[in-house]
Amino acid sequence: MKKETAKSWLWLVLDIVIVVAVVVVLKTFVIATHNVSGPSMAPNFMNNDYVLAWRHTSLKRGDVVILHAPDNALYIKRIIGLPGDTVTSKDDVMYINGKKYDQPYLKAYEEQWASDNNGLFTQNFSLKSLAATNHATKVPKDSYFVMGDNRPISKDSRLIGFVPRSKIEGKIIWRYWPLNKWSVY
């Protein structure tokens, strides 16, 4: 009886070690978690939302990502410009490579926020007009132009410049907290 109990405990410990090892490997190489802090992605992502991001995945326009900002903080932002793109905002219309880019995730809030921002939700800009992008005409290779959904207050590529792919922690795939806002992206 004693031998079987010891064997059972050994298997339990081994199972626990395997589960912990799998979790550590996943957390280190496959997934990233983040607690949203601040209002720059409001109302789509709010302060104290918890999200899960997939590392090492392809990125496309509109993806929401976790990135390492120049101030050593983790930011959550939306990809607007891909490598090689031109990006311009004129009278609250975003243009990518000269074509209007629809942003349905902003529609419900543009009018509300624009009243607090001299009538514009997104101040007019082009890449060439931004000192943070060194007045570039296009998004550089292996870099992205990112913006927060709360455009009037977001500290994004208009202020921090282009974000190299190496600084992107991952693409958000799931908001798991709060439970009433649980969403898969």
Determine contact, residues 27/42, Cβ cutoff 8 Å: no
Residues with catalytic roles: 40, 77
Q: Per-residue DSSP letters for 54-83?
A: ESS----TT-EEEEE-TTS-EEEEEEEE-T
Helix (H) or strand (E) holding 151: none
Q: Where are the beta strands (DSSP E) in 115-182?
A: 125-126, 143-147, 163-164, 168-177
Tokens of 66: 């976790």
Type of residue numbered 71: D
Which backbone phi and psi does 183 adopt, to 5 degrees?
Answer: -145, 145
The separation between CA 63 and the C-alpha centre of its own chain, rounded to angstroms, equals 7
